[in-house]
Amino acid sequence: MTSKSRLCFSSLLLLHCIVFDSYFLVINALACRPDQIKALLEFKNEFESGGCTRIDYFNGVLCDNKTGAVTKLELPSGCFTGNLKPNSSLFELHKLRYLNLSHNNFISSSLPSEFSNLNRLEVLSLSSNGFLGQIPSSYSNLTWLTQLDISHNEVTGSFQIVQNLTKLSILDLSYNHFSGTIPSYLLTMPFLSYLDLRGNHLTGPIKVPNSSSSSRLEHLFLGHNKY
């Protein structure tokens, strides 16, 4: 037995205590450090989570096999009901690169500005939740984001801050209450290839980039707006 497999074995025991007899199902979470598992459990306990089991929840977790930090969290659909508070343990998972909280029920929560603490994020999906209010300006700190999905919420105001997210290739803000004109920078962002703004209150005019521009856009959806 190498020291590596012994390490795995002790992580296994730890998870065994936490997830009862189902450790074979949570193989992804085996590399997680105890403090990260504690934060994950605290996060789960902040909500009514009858919609999923602990096993389902940990199946969506991935930790870095060198550092033990959580790098990926994909919440099962319909897992959590409740308020996502600014002091949530979620915002202690600073090494997250992929976070998918879509199709849950964060009842009448505004978008916490603390998402900006997770400034290693490359993929963030908050779609189909009950998020209200504006996108906090702190989100302009999420400069590693390549995919941002806030679709199907009740988000208002403008989305100026995405201008600073220069690595974005996929941006989905559809079915919210964004208003104002579509800023021309959005159509010429350096890597943006997919942009969905359907179902908002946006107004014209739209400056469609010409063929000599640097636009990478391949998919642009603008239907169900006000222009």
Nearest CA among 142, 141, 107 for reference residue 125? 142
Cis preceding-peptide flag for 205 (omega within 30 of 0): yes
Q: Is 166 in the site for ligand NAG (CB under 6 A)?
A: no
Residue from the set 109, 141, 200, 215 that interacts with ligand NAG by CB under 6 A: 141
Give how many residues touch ligand NAG by CB under 6 A: 21
For residue 140, give Cα distances in angstroms to 1, 43, 102, 131: 47, 24, 21, 18
Residue from the set 11, 36, 129, 147 that interacts with ligand NAG by CB under 6 A: 147
C-alpha of 22 from chain center: 27
d(CA 87, CA 85): 5
Q: Is 105 in the site for ligand NAG (CB under 6 A)?
A: no
Residue from the set 67, 108, 137, 203 that interacts with ligand NAG by CB under 6 A: 137
Q: Is 102 in the site for ligand NAG (CB under 6 A)?
A: yes
d(CA 172, CA 141): 18
Counted residue by residue, the chain has a size of 227
Cβ proximity of 31 and 56 under 8 Å = no
Q: Is 85 in the site for ligand NAG (CB under 6 A)?
A: yes
Minimum CB separation of residue 190 from ligand NAG in Å reads 13
d(CA 123, CA 170): 9
Q: Is 151 in the site for ligand NAG (CB under 6 A)?
A: no
Q: Which CB atom, from 116 or from 156, has the smaller least distance to ligand NAG?
A: 116
Q: Is 92 in the site for ligand NAG (CB under 6 A)?
A: no
**Footprint of ligand NAG (CB under 6 A):** 65, 74, 77, 85, 87, 100, 102-103, 116, 123, 125, 137-138, 140-141, 147, 149, 164, 210, 212-213
